[in-house]
Amino acid sequence: MTEPARVLNLAVDREAALSEAVDAVRRGACVVLPTDTVYGIGADAFDRDAVQGLLDAKERGRDMPPPVLIAEPSMLRAIADEVPEGAAALAKALWPGALTLVLKAQPRSGMDLGESLGTVAVRVPDLDVARDLLRRTGPLAVSSANVSGREAGLTCDEALAQLGDRVAVYLDGGPVGGGVASTIVDFASTDKGKVLRDGAITLETLRQHAPLVDGIDAPELEPEPEVDPAVEPSPTPDPD
């Protein structure tokens, strides 16, 4: 029998709430956490069954593997096999923030995120409580806290209404921002870097730190409340 979900208010007892979320992750369960974009559903990135539980909760297939959130840029080499000079420069300058790097996955990491084609999409969120949790759990596979195809939750209650008891612990940090999506830069297929999706960080800013990054043509940026905390590591990222 599925245990009822626990909804914990971070404003009431942050330490106790984070500790309970860490325990849930360590036993292979899913948690919901606030990020700097939307609420995300997270699971241990190194636990195949936990990642599958995340996909099942979202009613999503393995053809849409989740991105990975980390607490610090220094954790990048634990999950990425190669970090080109341009990628390292962008991470140093722009993390935490709205930058997602697509890199070749570290084969020794044991991660199985789905049909990722040997790549991993990585981001450091710009929200203290999210990074605090990530420091305690290690890298988490994180996708937007919603059933696939529906709007991502911008409040804990919205996430709970969609995911219910498929998630063990909900961390309620109040409403989160929505806003412009993260910029995605692919370093898995080219060492120079290529923008896969324009977002909050402009090409001009990227080139201040990695001058060889190739851009793409894109329409004017608009708020994207349905975007994941990061993006799926695929040639044509799907924002859900």
We report the CATH number of the domain holding residue 14 as: 3.90.870.10
Rounded to an integer, the average pLDDT of 33-54 is 95
Whether residue 182 contacts residue 227, with contact meaning beta carbons closer than 8 Å, is answered with: yes
Which of 45-49, 94-98, 174-178 bottoms out in mean pLDDT, i.e. has the lowest?
174-178
Query: Worst-scoring range by mean pLDDT, 46-60, 138-152, 224-238?
Result: 224-238
Q: Per-residue confidence at 108, pLDDT binned at 50, 70, 90?
A: confident
Question: To the nearest whole number, what is the mean pLDDT of the chain?
Answer: 89
Q: Is pLDDT of 39 > 90? A: yes
Contact 115, 234 (CB under 8 A): no
Instruction: Give the per-residue pLDDT at 180.
Output: 73
Residue 86 lies in a domain: yes
Range(s) of the domain holding residue 91: 6-178
Q: pTM of the entire structure? A: 0.88
Residue 154 lies inside a defined structural domain of this protein = yes
User: What pLDDT, on the 0 to 100 scale, is given for residue 179?
Assistant: 65
Res 229: pLDDT: 46
Q: Which residue has the tokens 């997602």?
A: 100
Q: Would 193 be classed as within a structural domain? A: no
Task: Quote the pLDDT of residue 40.
Answer: 95
Which pLDDT score is estimated for 228?
54
CA distance 201 to 99: 7
236 lies in some domain: no
234 within a domain of the structure (yes/no) = no
Average pLDDT over residues 144-162: 95
Determine the pLDDT at residue 14: 98
State the total domains in the chain.
1
220: in domain: no
Tokens of 38: 């939307």
> Looking at the domain assignment, is residue 200 inside a domain?
no
- Residue 197, in any domain of the structure: no
**Residue 232, pLDDT above cutoff 50:** no
Confidence of residue 107 (pLDDT cuts 50, 70, 90): confident
- By CB atoms closer than 10 A (0-12, 13-18, 19+), residue 26 is middle
Query: Is residue 224's pLDDT more than 90?
Result: no
Confidence (pLDDT) at 117: 82
In order of 31, 33, 43, 103, 129, the CA distances from 167 in angstroms are: 6, 11, 10, 29, 19
| Count helices and strands in the chain by DSSP H and E runs | 6, 10
